[in-house]
Structures are given as structure tokens and as C-alpha cells.
Amino acid sequence: MPDTTGDIAASHKIPALCGNIIGGETYTQGDQIPVICPETEEVVTHAVEADDETLDLAIRTAQETFEQGEWSKASSDHRQKVLFRIADLIEKHQEELAWLETLNIGAPIRQSETRHVTRAVLNFRFFAEYCSQTSGDAYYQQPDYLTVVTREPVGVAALIGPWNAPIALTTMKIAGAIAFGNSCVVKPSEFSPLTAFRVTQLLLEAGLPEGVVNLVNGRGGSTGAALSSHDGIDRLSFTGGTATGRAIMSAAGKNLVPVTLELGGKSANIIFDDADYEQALDGSLLGIFSNNGQQCLAGSRILVQRSIFDRFVADFVSRTNNLRMGSSFDRRTEIGPLATKSHFNRVLSFADLAREEGCEILTGGRAADGYSSGYFFEPTVAVTPRNDLRICQEEIFGPFATIQVFDTPEDAWRIANESDFGLVSYVWTSSLETATTAHKAIKAGMVLINTPIVRELRAPFGGFKDSGVGSESGASCEAFYTEQKTTVIPMAKPTLPKLGSEA
Ligand code: NDP
């Protein structure tokens, strides 16, 4: 059995039970969902499923808190102070939160610390700064009238997050919603409730009024579906799979609730023969194997120009075979277990599919040897003959790279765009012309030239096509989590026609 304490102090506690936190109270009644460590396969705790009554209470509490106004009507200076305190508190608990995240989803501890929890801290700091800079508009083109446009918080935001990067993604939603004065109801994945539970406790400790953030646990098909179809919510922000996104959008649409959907991807990672070879190789490995391959923005379809194809494939496979797989609690580990058993089986099924579709699996494609427990899947590289195969079209969401050859830039853009998804694209080239053409030709929400992912919170992050609806950033969240109000004030007494004044 792997030692889950690893390099980290063993003093951190797993919550005895992840209850539902509503109005600052923790509710522990209800069905219990086991929380399983993907490395030991042990049940480490349970989450309490919110039934309809508990969900109603969470939404009512969020509404009442919003109406009462302690947060929704607070000055942005006050909100900023609390958001900074939250960021500081998360930072103070960085080691504990990273450990909980790794325990729950199997992300290598170094990545939990430096990417996931760091991002959570940044999310709150960013929105603390952003909310103090918000402004309205004034129009005075009609000389006797002043027209002002102000923004108001919308009310209650439902926030539904995935299991692959719970703390990083869910805190983006929470920070974005509460920065502008909203209340919210948060539902983490049933598979990964640990950090959401702990962060909700820290929000209260930091002085966020009770009832502003309410946490409900539960299965997607029950609690999640009930939340997204509830008529008490005013906005819904979702990150997860495309099929779930469709169901959520149609449920929310019945109540005319606007949604933001951050969905799946099958992103092209295009390497030209004039690229800085080592950078492209390093970036491609990071692009597919970070977070155990479970990332929406994975560069999972690697396209390599013909003249460097054989050399690149050989080097890529050799580096893949060299990846340090092991306990995610060891800071040297580069690849840990997949997050759940069902997901492991799903990723494994793609190896069979690749073989059936005539792809050549150069390495991996099966359960990793030498582990008495844990969902360890060998990092996999498959060379694929065509882009229209399911292996190149469906999101695998694991440490599973497909590699294809291309000849000309036009081929590369065509293959990159032959996808229902359009989340991200990576391009490696030293040619300015190729880089600027990529910028124009690729249909994706984000095009990264000569770099792995860099998340600039000021800039929108969202997908084209089946990868999403709307985006997340400072300005996008402000637009989404506020209503605009136009107020017209005459600056001189207007002359009004006197209806009904003549006999
Ligand atoms: P899912 O779509 O399965 O689940 C996401 C969330 O939705 C979970 O909280 C889930 O709960 C909940 N849910 C499931 N069914 C319903 C429903 N019918 N109504 C309401 N809520 C529901 O996604 P995964 O958790 O498997 O996450 C992986 C997916 O997320 C991948 O496709 C990935 O690409 C995408 N993703 C996109 C990102 C982006 O920014 N574009 C970032 C990260 C991931 P439960 O888990 O309890 O069933």
C-alpha cells in the first residue's frame, strides 16, 4: 500500500464527514457517498448527499442572504478585504489543501501545490483587485438627459465543478460570483468533495458572511440535475463534460437562466520542423501528461511535420517511458493514478479502440505493473493513420497521446479544425508567418504559440464549438454575474405633451 503521507507532514486531517454547509451550519443527515483515494482504493471519508429538501434550503438561504444585503450591498472595499483574507488563508493552508486534493484525485503533489492550490489563491486575489476597479457608463449625447449604466449582482449563482481540478476550477467560479456581491450554491463532483468542503470552511473563517457560499454534495444525476433545473437560481456556471453541459443548458434554459459552460477538448498540438525542437518536445510532454492527462486543455492530438516525424516520435516515446510514475504523495512523481476506477476503465477501453482502429500503440495502453492498489495507467502513445478515427475525435481525458503526421501548414490547420471541439491549440514554430497564420486559421478559444498553457485571468478562457458557451475572465465574469441597469435622468424639466388636457 503506498504511503499517503509521503513528503508531507502526516498531521493533516481528512474531514470525518463532508456535510452540506448551508448558512454557516454543517448538515450531516442524508445518504453517504464514499470518497475513495485513487492510490490506495480505500474509502477515506464520506460526503453527505443533499436531497431535494436540503437543496431547497441551500437555495433559500442563498436568496435570503442576498436579499438581506450584508454582502450584496457591501462596498467593494469591504468585499476586496474579505477576498484578500480568503486568499491569504488558502495560502496558509496550501500544504493541507494540496494534500487533500492529491488524496482525492491522485494529482502529483507537486502539481497540487504549485498549480491547483496556487491557482485558487490567485483566483481570490485577482477578483479582489478586479472588484475594486469596476465602473459604470454614462451617456450624454441627448443634451438634456444623463443616462447612466450601472451593474448589480444577479442573486444566486449555481456553480457545478468537475473532479479533475476541483479546487482550481471551483474557486474561479466562487471568486467570480461573490466578488460582485452574489450568493451561491456550489456542487462539487461526488468523486472530489474534499477541497470544496475545506475551502467553504475557510471562507467562513475569513469572514465571508454565512449564507453567501453554500455547499451541497451529491451525485450529478440527482443533486446536480435538481440544482440546474431549480427555479431559485439566477445564473449557472458549469465545468465538465460536453454531454452533461447539454443537459444542464437545457434544464437551466427552461427557467431562462443564463449559463456559462466550460466543456471538453481534443486539442491539437502542432509541431513544425522549424520549431525549437527541445522546447516543443518538453511542451508536448507537459501538454498531455500534466495532471495525469486529466485536463480539458490537454494537447492530446499531436501533429508533427513529416521531416521531423520519426525523430520526434522516437524521442517522445523515450521520454514517455522515462516518466516517473509512482505515489502522488512523493514530490518526484510525475504521473500518478487516474482519479476513479470507472474513469480508469474508460481510458483503458480507448487502448482497445486504438488497436481496433488500426493505430500503432508505441508504448503503454494498459494498467501499469507493480502496483498492489491504485488506478495506475501506463502513459500511452499511439500513432494514428487518420484524424477521423474515434481515437482522434473523442476526449480520452487520460495520459494518452495520439500522434499524426502532416506536410503543409494548410494540412495542419485542416486537421486541427477537424474536430467537434475547439478549446485550445498549441503551435510550435520559429516562423512569424506560421505563428500569425495559426492565430487566424485555428478555430479554438485559445491559441498558444511556443508555450504550454499560461492562464492569464484578465483574458477570456472558453471554448469554441462543443468546448463551451461563454468564457471565464475578469470582464467575462463581471458581465455574467451582474445585470446591467440603465437609468435615465433629465437635466432640465422635460416638456411633456399633455394627454387628455384638451376638452
Ligand atoms: P461531468 O460532466 O461528468 O461532471 C461535471 C459536474 O457535473 C460534476 O459535478 C457532476 O457531478 C455534475 N453532473 C453530472 N451530471 C449532471 C447532471 N445531469 N446535471 C447536473 N450536474 C451534473 O464531467 P467530469 O467531472 O467527468 O469532468 C471531466 C470533463 O470536464 C471533461 O470533459 C473535461 O474536458 C471537462 N473540463 C472542462 C474544463 C474547461 O475549462 N473547459 C476544465 C476541466 C474539465 P458528479 O461528478 O457527482 O456526477
DSSP 459-485: S-B--EETTEES-BSHHHHHHHSEEEE
Residues with catalytic annotation?
262, 296
Q: What pLDDT, on a 0 to 100 scale, did the predictor assign at position 3?
A: 52
Cell 436540503 -> residue: 54
pLDDT digits (tens, 9 = 90+) for 60-108: 999 999 999 999 999 999 999 999 999 999 999 999 999 999 999 999 9
Atom of ligand 1 minimally distant from the CA of 192: 46
% pLDDT > 70, the chain: 98
Please tell me the distance between residue 320's alpha carbon and the centre of ligand 1 in angstroms: 28
Cell 466562487 -> residue: 174
Report which protein residue has its CA nearest ligand 1's atom 39: 262
- Quick check: CB of 463 below 6 Å from ligand 1? yes
Cβ-based neighbour number of residue 380 at 10 Å: 25
Report which protein residue has its CA nearest ligand 1's atom 4: 240
Res. 275 pLDDT band, cuts 50 70 90: very high
pTM of the model: 0.96
- Quick check: CB of 164 below 6 Å from ligand 1? yes
CA 5 to chain centre: 27
Residue 271 has phi, psi (to 5 degrees) of: -115, 115
Q: What pLDDT, on a 0 to 100 scale, did the predictor assign at position 503?
A: 78
Q: What pLDDT, on a 0 to 100 scale, did the predictor assign at position 40?
A: 97
- Quick check: CB of 429 below 6 Å from ligand 1? no
* Neighbour-count burial of 161, counting CB atoms closer than 10 A to its CB (0-12 exposed, 13-18 middle, 19+ buried): buried
Nearest to 304 by CA among 296, 315, 293: 315
Please tell me the distance between residue 188's alpha carbon and the centre of ligand 1 in angstroms: 9
- Give the type of residue at 31: D
pLDDT digits (tens, 9 = 90+) for 121-158: 999 999 999 999 999 999 998 889 999 999 999 999 99
Res. 487 pLDDT band, cuts 50 70 90: very high
CA distances from 306 to 141, 211, 313, 412, 427 (A): 60, 58, 11, 11, 15
Nearest to 97 by CA among 12, 191, 175: 12
pLDDT digits (tens, 9 = 90+) for 283-342: 999 999 999 999 999 999 999 999 999 999 999 999 999 999 999 999 999 999 999 999
Res. 4 pLDDT band, cuts 50 70 90: low
Q: What pLDDT, on a 0 to 100 scale, did the predictor assign at position 2?
A: 47
Burial letters 210-222, b for 16+ CB under 10 A, else e: bbbbbbbbbbbeb
Nearest to 238 by CA among 183, 157, 160, 171: 160
Question: Is 9 a residue whose pLDDT tops 50?
Answer: no
CA torsion through residues 168, 173, 176, 177, sign:
negative
Res. 1 pLDDT band, cuts 50 70 90: very low
In whole angstroms, give the CA distance from residue 176 to residue 368: 40
Range of lowest pLDDT (119-123, 429-433, 492-496): 492-496
- Quick check: CB of 14 below 6 Å from ligand 1? no
Which residue among 36, 46, 171, 189 is best mutated to probe the pocket of ligand 1, counting the most ligand atoms within 8 A of its Cβ? Answer: 189
Chain mean pLDDT for the chain: 96
* CB-based contact 83:127 (threshold 8 Å): yes
pLDDT digits (tens, 9 = 90+) for 168-223: 999 999 999 999 999 999 999 999 999 999 999 999 999 999 999 999 999 999 99
CA geometry: angle 323, 320, 284, nearest 5 deg? 110
Atom of ligand 1 minimally distant from the CA of 423: 41
In whole angstroms, give the CA distance from residue 313 to residue 307: 12
Which residue among 163, 171, 347 is best mutated to probe the pocket of ligand 1, counting the most ligand atoms within 8 A of its Cβ? Answer: 163
Residues forming a β-bridge with 488: 147
